[in-house]
Every structure is written in structure tokens, then in C-alpha cells.
Structure 1
Amino acid sequence: MQFITLLALVASATAAALPDGSLEQRATTYSAAGASTLAAAKAAFTSAKIVPDLIPSFNPDVAVMANFNGKQVTLGNTFNTLETAMEPSISFTAEPSFDPSTTKYTIFLVDPDAPGPAAPILKDFLHVIISNAQPTCITTQNRTMVAPYQPLTPFSVAAHRYVFLVYRQPPNYTPPVDIHYAPGVRNNFDLNAYVAEAGLMGPVGGNYLLEGLAQDVCLVTPNCTQNGIGYPTS
């Protein structure tokens, strides 16, 4: 009994010696992405040629999760336009060596294949920008919708790569003014120029999905595969 009392006294003294919030901070576990998860994301971005078609390099430190009405985005799985009509839910893990309670990030969703992969003359088509995002472990974060979600609208049978990217913001960050925030002028958004102007760092993480008109045709075509191959000939 005396030993338990002594432990209680030590704990109380330790808590009193710590700065405000330090005990709570130490008691909270911030989960980071595993090495295999990050390696898989890097390999997928390279295989899909997102590097260098959209970004010059990709060495992720966080895992990015996104879902449309519960359907998860998993590094290149396919969706149809009905599934992506509503705004996705986007989250990401904590970045090592950065305090998730004070570090904020900007999230992009862009299409480097608009209006079609064969001739992407409207790249990068902007679908969303969210600033002041924090890792999923921060439950009280206040995100800012800079460019509201515009549903995915591929104009080609071939699938587009719709890419989620997360960048770390500098302190006291203010998003640059950009005409592409308006819903009607989202084409030809220059992602890399925006990142440079804003002083964003990264990308620290990313994910992507595939969607084209083939996926919509497959909704009503028997025996059609989800990549648009295998239409019935009779």
C-alpha cells in the first residue's frame, strides 16, 4: 500500500513539473505510416508515371487516405462518375519529426490527364484545394476550403489519373490568390508553380484513383470489365 502511495506521489510531482499540456501530449500516440506503405505509394506513383507527368519527384513521409462515400482510394483503383459525385473524405498520417498539433498542410486533388490522356491539353485540372489540414490524429482541426470540390468529369474512354497530394505549409501561411479557385476555370492549373509561389514543401504524401468514361459504360454493359476492356461483340 505504501508503494502504491509513493507511485501516486511521484506521478503527481512529475505532472506538476511539466509545462501545461505536456503530460497530455506525451500520453497521446501519433501514428506514422510504415516503411512498406510509403514504399508502395512511391512505387505506384512511379509506375503510373505521375512522376514526372505531374510532379518532379515523390518521396512520401505520410500515408494519404481518401474515400468517396465509403469506397477507399487504393493507389490506382477504378471509380465511375456516380461514385465520385460527392466530395471525398481525405485524411493522412502524422509526418515524422513534425508536431501534428502545430504543423498544417494543404491538400490538392488534380487531374493531369484532362481532357484525355492522349492529349492532356487542359492539365492540370483542379478539383479541390484544402488548406490548414492536419493529420487524422488531430480531431479539432479547422480546415479551410480554398477551392471547393468539383466532381470528376473525364471526357475520354481511357481512364484519367486523379491525384491527391499533401504538402506542408510554412508558418503563418496564406494561400496565393488564383483564378482557378472558381468552378468554371479549373483547367490548366499549374500545380508546381502554385506550390513554388506558396512556399509549400513536399509533396509529403499522395494517393490516386483511375476514372474514365469506360467505367460509366460498364455500369450498363453486361460482361464489361471495369477497365473498359472486354465489351461484348454481339
Structure 2
Amino acid sequence: MKFSAAFVSVALAALAAAQANNTELGVEAIEAHFSNAGIVPSLLASFDPVGVLSLSYSGVGDISPGQSLTKDQVGPTPVLAVTPANSTVQLTGNFTLVMADAGPVGTDETAGQTRHWLVNGVTLTGSSPLNVSTSAGVAITDYAGPAPAAGSGAHRYVILLYTQPDNFTAPDGLDTPNVGVSVFNLADYVQSSNLGSIVAGTYITVEEGTASVTPSATSAVVTSTLPAAHSSSASSTAPPSPSTSGTTANKSNGAGSVVTPLSSVFVAALFGLGFVFF
């Protein structure tokens, strides 16, 4: 198989375009997830991420938004990474990482949320995707795996990365390390500390036992209906498959559907440009 320099250049450009479309689709998908799961507007008044937050647990692997996990699976501290939505998104400086229990769908969030993770001074390292590093940050509350009460339903654990501006000031009681898991109000914390906008976010669900109440209804996210799916289909021979994730390539997501692998988009783009392998 022989490749000319022009062939490789065009091929790489096609792959880069496919990757950009896939990330934009991922951003739109997680926005839809947060809305459909009631996280917006119940917990967050709005959610306009500028990147995709990937979440991985040891022994489980990459997690799809809203994926149901057991208490044992979410015990270890997860690994996080952020992929900017496009080349214009520059993520520098410090960030704040928070994980809060938003409870089952329909929970009254004005009563506050249980804080499972809060780190200030988080940094992003490496190239896209950017690794979320807490090593140099101030761990107000170290990661504590979700452990919902038995029979209380499927709790939504929301992980968010906020920009942390220079005028950030942690409120009293949450301004020193090693504060245990406790209830706080996420919206009040964000406002009082002058946190910036949300960079990216995702969520998981954990349930212990059988719920004693019927949760509020939610609907699945079908990525093929999102605007970015239409633009990405122009560089592929087939439209995206219905999915509840839109961010995980070549593997099943929580709904059992599969997102088109980037390698397939790459090959399709090459044939679409008239290249012949020999």
C-alpha cells in the first residue's frame, strides 16, 4: 500500500474534521442528557459546556453519561479528562472540580446536595484530551464514592469542572482541606465563591436496593437528532447511530447502541474523496 504526501495530508485533514464533529456532537449530547435527566434546570439553571468531560473508573473503563454503576464500581477515585469543543477553546489557569449528589430525578434541590468531591486549584495537563490533575490542587473534600441509602432510588452524581478566576474566594467552612462529606448548596457555593462558568460535566447513577417510590420519567438522548449529527454526516457514508452518549467510540453505551468509530469515518472520508488503495 503506497501513500503520497498529498494523500496523507488530505487523510489527516479528514480525520481531524471527523474528530471535531464528534466532539461537538458530544457537547450537544451531554447538554441533552442534563436536560432530560432533570439536572437542568433543577440543579443547574443552565449548562453550556465548552468541552466533553470523560470519566473512567478502574475495572470499569470509560463511563457513558448517566450510566448505572454499583457502589463497589465507583469506590476508586476516577480518572478525568477534557476534550475542548473546538480549536478556539483555550483551557488554561486553575479550575474547581466538584461532585455532588443531585438525588433521584425530581429531587428538590433547594434542600442542598451531598458533596462527594471538591478540589480547588485543579489544572489541565497534556494535549487534547487534557488530563484533569488534582495533584497540585487543594482538596477541600477528597473523593468519596457514592453510597446512596437503600431504597432511596437511583441517585444522580454530577461531576462538574468550573473555571476558577483570580477573584475566587472559598466560603467559610469550605476554605481548608480535609472537610468531610456533608450537605452544601452547590448554587450558593458557586455564587459566593465567584466561580466562573462550567467547562464540562457528566453524571452517573448509583442505586442501592429497590426504590420504594416511582421516579419521575425521563427520556433517552438520540444523538442522530442533534444539530452536530447532521454536519458530521456530511463526512461519513452513514448517519450516527442513536446513542445515549455520543462520546464513546467503538463501544456500547448505557442504552446498548454504538457510536460510529472515528476510524470508520476516516476510511469513509478517504473513499469519498476518490482515493483507491493498492
Q: TM-score scaled to structure 2, two decimals?
A: 0.57
Matches within 5 A, 1:65-144: 65-71=54-60, 72-94=62-84, 97=88, 99-100=90-91, 102-113=92-103, 123-137=112-126, 142-144=136-138
For 1:154, the equivalent position in structure 2 comes to 148
Name the SS for the 1:55 alignment partner. Answer: coil
Gaps of 5+ in 1: 1-30, 216-226, 228-234
Give the Cα–Cα distance (whole angstroms) in 2 for the partners of residues 69 and 75 of structure 1.
17
Deviations 1:153-175 (A, max 9, x none): 11143210000011101126443
Match of 2:189 among 191, 194, 197: 194
- Check conservation: 2:81, 2:131, Cα contact below 8 A: no
Moved more, 174-183 or 102-111: 174-183
Q: What does 1:36-75 align with in structure 2 at a 5 Å threshold?
A: 36-71=25-60, 72-75=62-65
Instruction: Say yes or no: does 1:207 pair with 2:196.
Output: no
> Alpha-carbon deviations, 1:28-53, whole Å to 9, x = none?
xxx98821010000000001010012
Distance 1:50 1:118 in 2: 9
Unpaired runs of 5+ residues, structure 2, are 1-18, 211-253, 255-278
Q: Which residue of 2 aligns with 1:182?
A: 179
Code of the aligned partner of 2:57: F
* Distance in 2 between residues matched to 1:90 and 1:139, nearest whole Å: 6
Corresponding residue number in structure 1 for 2:269: none
Output one character per residue of 1:34-80: Cα deviation in whole Å (capped at 9) or x when no partner.
Answer: 21010000000001010012111111101111222142221111111
Q: Is the 8 A contact 2:66 2:205 kept in 1?
A: yes
- Kept in 1, the 8 Å contact 2:102–2:156? The answer is yes
Contact 1:94 1:136 in 2 (8 A): no
Q: 1:140 to 1:159 in 2, by over 3 A?
A: closer
Q: Equivalent residue for 2:161? A: 166
Deviation at 1:146, TM superposition (A): 1.9
What per-residue deviation string (whole Å, max 9, x for no partner) do you get for residues 153-203 of structure 1?
11143210000011101126443332596225x12x110111011111222
> Which deviates further from its counterpart, 167-176 or 122-131?
167-176
1:207 partner SS: strand
Cα contact 1:111–1:123 (8 A) shared by 2: no
How far, CA to CA, are the matches of 1:75 and 1:159 in structure 2? 14
- Further displaced range: 133-142 or 34-43: 133-142
**Greater RCO, CA 8 A, separation 6+:** 2
Look up the SS of the partner of 2:54 in the other structure.
Answer: strand
TM-score by length of 1: 0.67
- Contact kept, 8 Å, 2:101 with 2:116, in 1: the verdict is yes
Contact 1:84 1:151 in 2 (8 A): yes
Asked if the contact 1:92/1:136 (under 8 Å) is kept, the reply is no
Cα deviation code 1:141-162 (max 9, x no counterpart)? 6233121112211114321000
Q: Distance in 2 between matches of 1:176 and 1:204?
A: 21
**CA drift at 1:86:** 1.9
Match of 2:265 in 1: none
- Conserved 8 A contact 1:73-1:208: no
